[in-house]
Chain A
Amino acid sequence: MHFDASSVVPLFHQIAQQFTAGILSGAFPEGSQIPSTTEVARTYAINPATVLRGMNELVDAGVIEKRRGVGMFVVHGARDRLAAAQQAEFFAAQVPQVVRQAQALGITAAQLTAAIEREYSHE
């Protein structure tokens, strides 16, 4: 995990993002226990309140669950849920950004579409 202090993304959200990436990549499999707030706080020298806030984002999203006295676990179905959320985020945020950049450079819709199709056909 790596955290960027000067990022516009708040640190607690970066923590949620790093765990999300870990779950999507399979580093934290569904049903497995994830490191505790204390462990994360100590390892990366981050205030536990910040770590907890990031973890709570994932609890609220139904991706991890707290088991009293035991710790936090990745819920079953978390990967599908996260993948769907990331796709929605991609269409809502990144596609408009790419289109705006293309427009600023004078690239037409047809040119952009053609470039995307070429990129897909490389696979």
Chain B
Amino acid sequence: MSEIKFKNVTKRYGNKQVLRGVNATWEAGKIYALLGRNGAGKSTLMRIVNNRTFATSGAVTLDGKSVVENEAAQNRIFLMSSAQLYPADRRLSWLFALTRRMYGGFDDALATHLLDAFELHDTAKIGQLSTGYQTIARLIIALCVPCDFVLLDEPVLGLDAPARELFYQELLATYAERPRTFVIATHLIEEVADLVENVNVLAGGEIVLAEDVATVLAKGRIVSGPAGLVTDYLRDTPVMRKQALGGMLTAYTLDAPLERPLPAGVTLAGMDLQRLFIELTRGERHEK
């Protein structure tokens, strides 16, 4: 099975340490969410994989071989980002043809289907497209390249809600047809929560959570009730945060003791991926 592996990857820009030792694995055929606050280094991590920048130390490998200046590896990796790399006066059809030459393939049937679904014509000039349609054009390319690892950095930037939903549906349709690895870096956590199989959370320059979504949510709970009862119920249990309001206490935990009988007056609510992310990265200083 193919995989991209990160070993102690660090990245420093001047005296700003963005990545402090990233260790992670992206396996073949899985969809990942890469979550992190603004400036956490999500884009940097993806750009390192795609050789648009280089790690200060550590290694990124594809099937055991460094991806750095490795053409065979880079042919299997595609990065879609908001960086405007295409000449404005060219038509989409030209861009599709160029992509085919660069990556040794392009799924024309899927491109035709997607152009139709998003109501876009390949005769359109890149520079004349609106922000949303420029994103759509980039997404079409990302879904049509033959690469095994497709990294999507903020893939729905500028897309309206119906277009975003359509994209998520089309992503899963092509994924079901040809399973490959997708890594989605996004702030719209709720929208991708059901879509992804695994989640990676980047905080403080490291991957602080890398887990199957179902597993991480299985025991994540928000426990509320009278303070004494909640505290007793969660004895010996690691708690991420407690919030007191008068005699009532709300506690956030990733490891609720579900085998214990729940005291009357105490309620359990599920923790969704967005709440989990907020609790996990609380206190992370926002820096630019």
For chain A, give the interface size range. 20 to 34
Selecting from A45-53, A60-68, A115-123, the interface stretch reads A45-53
**With A and B bound together, what is the CA distance between A103 and B123 in angstroms?**
71
B269:A8 contact, CB within 8 angstroms:
yes
A70 in contact (CB, < 8 A): no
A6:B197 contact, CB within 8 angstroms:
no
B157 in contact (CB, < 8 A): no
A-B pairs under 8 A by CB, number:
62
Selecting from A21-29, A35-43, A83-91, the interface stretch reads A35-43
Taking the nearest CB of chain A, how far is it from the CB of B218, in angstroms? 6
B19 in contact (CB, < 8 A): no
Which residues from B are CB-within-8-Å of A7? 270
A42:B173 contact, CB within 8 angstroms:
yes
**With A and B bound together, what is the CA distance between A45 and B190 in angstroms?**
12
B31:A47 contact, CB within 8 angstroms:
yes
A5 in contact (CB, < 8 A): yes
The total of chain B residues at the interface (CB under 8 A) is 29
B176:A5 contact, CB within 8 angstroms:
no
Which residues from A are CB-within-8-Å of B31? 47
A6:B272 contact, CB within 8 angstroms:
yes
Closest to A103 in B: B264
Closest to A13 in B: B214
A47:B195 contact, CB within 8 angstroms:
yes
Which residues from A are CB-within-8-Å of B217? 10
Chain A contact residues, CB within 8 Å of chain B:
3, 5-12, 37-38, 41-50, 53, 100, 104
Chain B contact residues, CB within 8 Å of chain A:
31, 165, 168-169, 172-173, 175-177, 190, 193-197, 213-214, 217-218, 221, 264-265, 268-273, 275
* 30 examples of A-B residue contacts, CB within 8 angstroms: A3-B194, A5-B193, A5-B194, A6-B275, A7-B270, A8-B269, A9-B270, A10-B217, A10-B218, A11-B194, A12-B214, A37-B176, A38-B177, A41-B172, A42-B172, A42-B173, A42-B176, A44-B194, A45-B172, A45-B194, A45-B195, A46-B172, A47-B172, A47-B194, A47-B197, A48-B172, A50-B194, A100-B264, A104-B264, A104-B265
